[in-house]
């Protein structure tokens, strides 16, 4: 097996993620806009904001991850690159994982890095805990992008398949969002929530690439 096609797919996905000049800016704007608008709707009571803040940010992160997923595989099906990827010696699952990881690093990781600033808007205490929470968002965001990649692969041949991606991916996001929100609270069972969050991300990394590969083979037929 040659690793060259995997690296080539990774580099191509990095370039595609910045196509049109948007890159990470569109998901960042959506993430920040959602977090800014929510306090305007629920009020400015500090206790209320602290209680709902983690959950709101997880929902915003999940929705923001959907913004750029449509571009992961669609261009490959339109220009014939998908057929070339499937004919290489590298496993299609590895190529799909490399392209999804590139999109996460470009558009998903910046969301996690922005989360401490947005958490302060929800009256979170300024401490090292914000950095720990940012790591949780990064782990959860990785799971979101890989599950979203399954939806992107299934809708690779569908024009403007953003709605289809959402319908496929959002149910798969639920466990990760629940465990992530629990990890940031003092609710019963929250002590094990970080491990469950990590387990959900590892499960996504293990299963989603093969599901993407199967969907892409169907798209190429």
Domain ranges of the chain: 4-220
Tell me the per-residue pLDDT of 48-99, one tens digit each, with 9 for 90 and over. 877 888 888 898 899 888 888 877 887 777 777 777 777 877 888 888 999 9
**How large is the average pLDDT for residues 155-168?**
80
- pLDDT given at position 124: 74
Tell me the per-residue pLDDT of 168-195, one tens digit each, with 9 for 90 and over. 899 999 999 999 988 887 767 678 889 9
Q: Helix or strand or coil: residue 189?
A: coil
- pLDDT given at position 78: 72
Q: Is the pLDDT of residue 104 over 80?
A: yes
Per-residue CA distances from 30 to 34, 76, 86 (Å): 6, 26, 34
Q: Taking a C-beta distance cutoff of 8 angstroms, is the pair 66, 162 a contact? A: yes
**Rounded mean pLDDT of the chain?**
84
Q: How far apart are CA 198 and CA 173, in angstroms?
A: 14
- pLDDT given at position 56: 86
Residue holding tokens 């010696």? 89
74 burial level (CB within 10 Å; 0-12, 13-18, 19+): buried
**How large is the average pLDDT for residues 41-51?**
78
- pLDDT given at position 176: 94
Query: What is the value of pTM for the model shown?
Result: 0.90
Long-range pairs for 73-76 at CB < 8 Å and ≥24 separation?
A: 73/99, 73/152, 73/153, 73/156, 73/212, 73/216, 73/219, 74/152, 74/155, 74/156, 74/161, 75/16, 76/156
- Range with top average pLDDT, 105-109, 158-162, 204-208: 204-208
Per-residue CA distances from 49 to 41, 43, 88, 122 (Å): 11, 8, 51, 5
CA-derived radius of gyration, the chain: 18
């Amino acid at each position: 097996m040659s690793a060259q096609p995997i690296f080539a797919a990774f580099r191509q996905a990095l370039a595609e993620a910045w196509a049109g000049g948007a890159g990470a800016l569109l998901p960042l704007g959506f993430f920040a806009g959602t977090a800014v608008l929510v306090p305007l709707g629920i009020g400015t009571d500090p206790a209320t904001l602290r209680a709902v803040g983690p959950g709101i940010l997880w929902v915003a992160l999940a929705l923001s991850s959907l913004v750029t997923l449509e571009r992961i595989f669609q261009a490959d099906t339109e220009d014939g690159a998908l057929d070339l990827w499937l004919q290489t010696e590298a496993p299609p699952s590895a190529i799909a994982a490399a392209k999804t990881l590139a999109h996460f690093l470009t558009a998903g990781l910046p969301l996690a890095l922005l989360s401490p600033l947005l958490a302060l808007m929800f009256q979170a205490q300024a401490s090292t805990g914000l950095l720990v929470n940012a790591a949780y968002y990064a782990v959860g965001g990785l799971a979101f992008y890989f599950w979203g990649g399954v939806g992107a692969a299934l809708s690779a041949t569908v024009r403007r398949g953003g709605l289809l991606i959402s319908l496929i991916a959002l149910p798969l996001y639920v466990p990760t969002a629940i465990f992530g929100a629990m990890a940031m609270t003092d609710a019963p069972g929250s002590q094990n929530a970080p491990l469950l969050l990590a387990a959900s991300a590892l499960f996504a990394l293990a299963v989603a690439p093969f599901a993407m590969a199967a969907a892409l083979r169907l798209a190429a037929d």
